[in-house]
Structure 1
Amino acid sequence: MSVGPNPRPSARHRARTTVAGVRGGRPPTDRDDRTGAGRRPVTDTRRVADDDSRRPDPGILPLIADPFESVADAHERLTTLESTFRERGDRRGAFLCVYARVTEAVGVAIDAGEFADPDWVTDYLVTFADLYREALLAYETGDLVALPDPWQVAFETAERGDALVVQDVVLGINAHVNYDLALALHRVGVGPDRRARYADHCAVNAVLRSLVDEVQDRIAANYAPGVTDLDESFGRLDEALSMLSLREGRDSAWRSAVALSSRFRLRRRLAGWVLRTSSTGAAYLLLAPTVSRSVADALAGVERGDGVPSEE
């Protein structure tokens, strides 16, 4: 259940809507790529020239300027990004607190021989991480045309800091799993041995399942001490629901990747449209107010470690 207020569009969001706009519809994506879901438009690679609200951060830009070269490189730079964000009080680090650890754990599983095609899983993992890097680079440099809509919502919300930390994390997961993952799978290819690659794709779920408790502890230690109180209050139900939704998101990403690989142009374009609209819609749904302001404030207090309010 989401508790945050309706997000007010930032100056950067308003500037974008005058050019391409989440509400106005993104410009046509790369019509030559077979996916219909490319990040950079062929006919409109403009930056938003009048958007002066962001300058590239010299502490962040060197970490995201170049593609990741390996799993180790991705993990190292993601970890450094997380610590940099955390030291600055930038809530964009909350998602990375989870994602950097996941990247490391899947890398360990690759080295341990837990996948039938370790080279493919390695390419998959690095490509997946690189899509996050591309989104963050677009955000940092103000290249709002290249910035995927769900990532714009996630980054802007985290920078404002007016949602729950848990919402910041889930917004990042939504953008990365419900949007980026299908594109990563498409880039590395789901064939020719589709059944074997799907098995390796599903094998990642076991790694994710093993990390649920650990990542909750990491979020509590670094961003929201009260997450452990919420966990104690709700038991393992929240963990089961989070794993269920993540598994469903990953299954959906596989189906979308298959559609993006179709020889039929209409199916490819439809898959790209569904990726954008569903992941962006989910992001706004996560931020839609569904409880009172007092309840939202109470939950924020619990996250900060104020304790679970007692019943009166």
Structure 2
Amino acid sequence: MAGYAAMVRLFDARRVRAALLAARVTAPTPDDHETDPVFVDLLDTPFETVDDAHDRLRALERRLRAAGDRRAVFPTIYTRMTHAVRAAIDDGRFADPEWMRRYTVTFADYYRRAFLTFERGAYAAVPAPWRVAFDVAVAGDALVAQDAFLGINAHINYDLALTLRDLGIDPRRARKRADHDRIDDVLAGLVDAQQAALVDLYAPGLSAVDATFGRFDEAFSLFSMTEGRAWAWRTAAVLTDVRAAPARAVTRWLHRAAATGGARVIGSPPIDPAVLAALRRVERDRLSLDGALDALTDHLDAASGT
């Protein structure tokens, strides 16, 4: 019965709303995206160790940035996350360091497979949350914040539960859960550094937007990383404890659909296109924030006929 009670807790209002949005997600095939054999060679084999995952993610990020490919935004964040988790493992911050090494490698491998599948052009086989993230990044006209949170959404709200299911959360579930939760503290210490990296590498005006609107990144994060990670654990627990096929099928549907609906919200937020256009110019340091506000005021006046 505990497994079914945990399953009921998965159906919070926000997840259900996001899941219902998933049916409205469209996945256009990129017309001008060509497979890069260097990416294929780099990601063709599974990650073997934490060091291997970190080094190949860093190489991927550097090549994407050199090519001006906005898919670089997520690995910029993710490489730093992987580095920080590796340091925490080496520092003895986890009760089960070997499980955490396998956790880190298995988690990274979900991203590797999604990227590789997309790069090879097998678009229908790419998990839907990643498909939205990659499509938006390849188009290159979203906010950097959107690219960042589309990747975070797909990796945490989709990949993480599957990672935990694959690894197994038993035996010593409580100890493994405590180690899983300790990563929240590691990630919390990276927020400012990651935002600084995005400012330096992609969006010089992002800090101005963030300072004005107050944690601008939250506007594009349907669920916080901490909440998403907790929900991933609950999902993995249900998939572990509940054996009835219909219940497992419903859990898998909610897991996939909520992450896909979340991608839709992040990728196509309910914001006036003129507002997004102005924010893109601010983010890229091509327009001051005051100038953007003036432009938006003019737009709203024109729209209202005043």
TM-score relative to the length of structure 2: 0.82
Does 1:65 find its partner at 2:44? yes
Going by fraction, where is helix more abundant, 1 or 2? 2
Residue 291 of structure 1 corresponds to 271
Alignment partner of 1:308 out of 289, 302, 305 = 289
Matches for 1:39-188 after TM superposition, within 5 Å:
55-188=34-167
Deviation per CA, 1:128-149, whole angstroms, max 9, x where unpaired? 0000001011101122343101
- The 10-residue stretch of structure 1 (179-188 or 223-232) with the greater mean CA deviation from structure 2: 223-232
Structure 2 unpaired stretches of 5+? 1-23, 295-306
Q: Aligned-residue CA RMSD in angstroms?
A: 2.3
Deviation per CA, 1:84-118, whole angstroms, max 9, x where unpaired? 11111100000111011001100000000000000
**Do 2:54 and 2:79's aligned partners in 1 also have CA atoms closer than 8 Å?**
yes
**In the alignment, residue 286 of structure 1 is paired with which amino acid?**
I
**Do 1:7 and 1:157's aligned partners in 2 also have CA atoms closer than 8 Å?**
no
Counterpart Cα distance in 1 of 2:154 and 2:218:
20
Counterpart Cα distance in 1 of 2:118 and 2:25:
18
Matches for 1:27-38 after TM superposition, within 5 Å:
none
**Do 1:90 and 1:158's aligned partners in 2 also have CA atoms closer than 8 Å?**
yes
Matches for 1:164-243 after TM superposition, within 5 Å:
164-235=143-214
**Do 2:129 and 2:260's aligned partners in 1 also have CA atoms closer than 8 Å?**
yes
Q: How many residues align?
A: 268
Q: Percent identity?
A: 46
Shift of residue 271, structure 1, vs aligned partner: 1.8
Deviation per CA, 1:245-303, whole angstroms, max 9, x where unpaired? 11110000001111121333233222211111111111111123422222111100111
**Do 2:64 and 2:71's aligned partners in 1 also have CA atoms closer than 8 Å?**
yes
Change beyond 3 A, Cα 1:59–1:241 = closer
Counterpart Cα distance in 1 of 2:70 and 2:34:
18
**In the alignment, residue 95 of structure 1 is paired with which amino acid?**
F
Counterpart Cα distance in 2 of 1:100 and 1:156:
21
**Do 1:54 and 1:141's aligned partners in 2 also have CA atoms closer than 8 Å?**
no
Residue 10 of structure 1 corresponds to 28
**In the alignment, residue 289 of structure 2 is paired with which amino acid?**
V
Change beyond 3 A, Cα 1:218–1:156 = same
Counterpart Cα distance in 2 of 1:282 and 1:55:
27
Change beyond 3 A, Cα 1:168–1:7 = farther
**Do 2:221 and 2:266's aligned partners in 1 also have CA atoms closer than 8 Å?**
no
**Do 1:261 and 1:268's aligned partners in 2 also have CA atoms closer than 8 Å?**
no
Counterpart Cα distance in 1 of 2:100 and 2:127:
24
| Matched residue SS, 2:125 | coil
